[in-house]
Structure 1
Amino acid sequence: MNNTVISKNEGAVAWVRLNRPERLNAMNRQLVDGLSRALADAEADEGIRAVIIHGEGRAFCSGDDLKDLDAQTACEADTQAWVEAIQNITLQIMQSRKIVIAAVHGWCVGGALEWAINCDFRLFSESARWFFPEVTYGLFVTGGVTALLTKQVGPQVTKELLMLGERHDARKALDVGIAWKVVPDDRLLEEARGLALRIAERPADAVADAKRAINAGLHSTLQDAMARETAATVRGFLSPQAQARAKEF
């Protein structure tokens, strides 16, 4: 039984909780597959209008679980399958007819940060800390962020965030436009619930059409960006130098 992602429905809202607190909800294959199923279930449920993704314990998600690196990159085919599974979450979030909300607390790193950027609204708690470690390791980002971030925050800030890999707080996320709103830690889930319920009050088709039109208009090169990212990420994962750096983390 896969308990790394736990879903529950509360009226028109689907709560999707990443549940590997002992690893700061780091991404392994079970968690990625569990999140994919949870998103698919929410998409198929006509009664669900909004999805809230959040994390159990001290973090939203600390990114790729580097303890599983050997299993994820045993050969090129396995690496390709792993990266495509991560990228598929992006497609599920951005192509969904539901509004997807990221409720971020604690660490939000790498692939998890990229998933958060894919969400329609991003609420950060005051404790949130985030960064892109991939380029520092000799790896590469996913989630279409080379296209999404460049258009949202501009090429200069995108280069700063991806190339320098510095750690940032919630205020920086708000300042550059990654966070929609920063709230006290003890208000994070309640704020996310309130937003989801406001969205649920609006006509479902109109909300879905608005999301689709905005994403298509703003991110028309998403597929091309993700194809480039997949190839670069696979090359990075298979690099002995990158694997050695990641294992030292």
Structure 2
Amino acid sequence: MRRTPKVGDDKMGDVKMGAVISRHDGAIAWVKLNRPERLNAMNRQLVDGLSEALARAEADPSVRAVILHGEGRAFCSGDDLKDLDEQTTSEATTRGWVDAIQNITLQIMQSRKIVIAAVHGWCVGGALEWAVNCDFTLFADNARWFFPEVTYGLFVTGGVTALLTKQTGPQVAKELMILGEKHDASKALEVGIAWKLFPEAQLLDEARKLALAIAERPESAVADIKHAINNGFHSSLADAMALETRATVSGFLSPDAQARAKNF
């Protein structure tokens, strides 16, 4: 079973927040998605726990970097389709679910901390969109990923219709989102979703090294440059997310999309 590296374990204490475990070790907040029996699939407990863990890290002045990772065999396998009926009982319920997912994007991208994703196993759908939102995304060299939403008749979130299009160009963005094909880690590096690839056994150690290197830089300068880059490069994030929210709510409430997702 994968776990946070042993370095500094004596200083760390687990704080369980729903389906997320948070540990603060000096300048690093380790935030672990913890539904390994479901490949860390996203349900309300996981999303709310992640939001709480990110808020806790943001409020801790000693934390300079957040490392987001997954327990077990995957980073996160996307929406838990077993919860689809619960998520679509009404338009208000569905909008609340989508807003909760989108709020994670805002917490990551508006944070004054640097957020690092350490991705292993499967990284799918909404979780892949969160990885795109992170400041640095490290992939295990055996990781797999894809955007399944359009295949179901649903829609993406996380502002990726703006972020990924600017990063990869419109044709590649359409390829990834419309075709929804499964890709390996080298493709993530090729299109710029992954910053670097590492053997899985080294992934968390490499994330830790990066976090500590960031922590050596002046705090205000790092936070300010993050915001300047995000605001400059991703200026249409809010508009993209508003469109995504409308389209995702509509998709979730579509009987055809629900049937496709359940069949999958």
What's the TM-score, normalizing by structure 1? 0.99
CA distance in structure 2 between the aligned counterparts of 1:180 and 1:199, rounded to whole angstroms: 15
CA distance in structure 1 between the aligned counterparts of 2:80 and 2:73, rounded to whole angstroms: 16
The corresponding residue for 1:193 is: 208
Q: Let me know the Cα RMSD of the aligned residues.
A: 0.7
1:231 Cα deviation (Å)? 0.1
Give 3-state SS (helix, strand or coil) of 1:142's partner.
coil
**What 5-or-longer segments of structure 2 have no aligned partner?**
1-15
What's the TM-score, normalizing by structure 2? 0.94
The corresponding residue for 2:86 is: 71
Residues 1:184 and 2:226 aligned together: no
1:61-210 correspondence to structure 2 within 5 Å = 61-210=76-225
1:127 Cα deviation (Å)? 1.5
CA distance in structure 1 between the aligned counterparts of 2:52 and 2:261, rounded to whole angstroms: 28
8 Å CA contact retained: 2:18, 2:48: no
1:3 Cα deviation (Å)? 4.1
CA distance in structure 2 between the aligned counterparts of 1:69 and 1:55, rounded to whole angstroms: 22
Letter in 2 for 1:217: G
Give 3-state SS (helix, strand or coil) of 2:75's partner.
strand
1:2 Cα deviation (Å)? 4.3
- Of 193, 209, 232, 1:217 maps to 232
CA distance in structure 2 between the aligned counterparts of 1:205 and 1:91, rounded to whole angstroms: 19
Cα 1:76–1:220 change in 2 (3 A) is same
> Deviation string for 1:172-208 (max 9, x for gaps)?
0001111000000100000000000000000000000
CA distance in structure 2 between the aligned counterparts of 1:237 and 1:213, rounded to whole angstroms: 34
CA distance in structure 2 between the aligned counterparts of 1:10 and 1:201, rounded to whole angstroms: 15
Give percent identity, aligned residues only: 78
Letter in 2 for 1:107: W
1:126 Cα deviation (Å)? 1.1
CA distance in structure 1 between the aligned counterparts of 2:72 and 2:88, rounded to whole angstroms: 28
1:222 Cα deviation (Å)? 0.3
Runs (4 or more) in structure 1 with deviation over 3 Å come to: none
Cα 1:145–1:171 change in 2 (3 A) is same
Residues 1:36 and 2:51 aligned together: yes
The corresponding residue for 1:15 is: 30
8 Å CA contact retained: 2:118, 2:139: yes
